[in-house]
Amino acid sequence: REILNYGHTLAHAIEKNERYKWRHGAAVSIGMVFAAELGRLAGRLDDATADRHRTVLESVGLPLAYRADQWPKLLENMKVDKKSR
């Protein structure tokens, strides 16, 4: 089940921040890119695999990033997400 949650903690925070006006898949796309970058920085994911996330998601027109000025709000929202660990 955890694999299905990939990218969802950040996605739920984005959706809440956007008052649920965003499509779920768009928010999950950003969450997946974020998770891949964390994996890269932690040394758990190689550069090519992290980059592949961006390439595939961008190729189908999904967003890859979110407004940096909103990160404090997103972090607060992620703290209360029921599926976060």
* pLDDT tens figures, 10-35: 999 999 999 999 999 999 999 999 99
Domains and CATH numbers, the chain: 2-66 (1.20.1090.10)
Give the torsion sign (CA, 44, 48, 51, 53): negative
Q: Which two tokens stand for residue 41?
A: 């920085």
pLDDT at 81: 75
Do residues 10 and 79 lie in contact, with contact meaning Cβ atoms separated by under 8 Å?
no
Asked if pLDDT for residue 8 goes beyond 60, the answer is yes
How deeply is 85 buried, as exposed, middle or buried, from its count of CB atoms within 10 A (0-12, 13-18, 19+)?
exposed
Total number of residues shown for the chain: 85
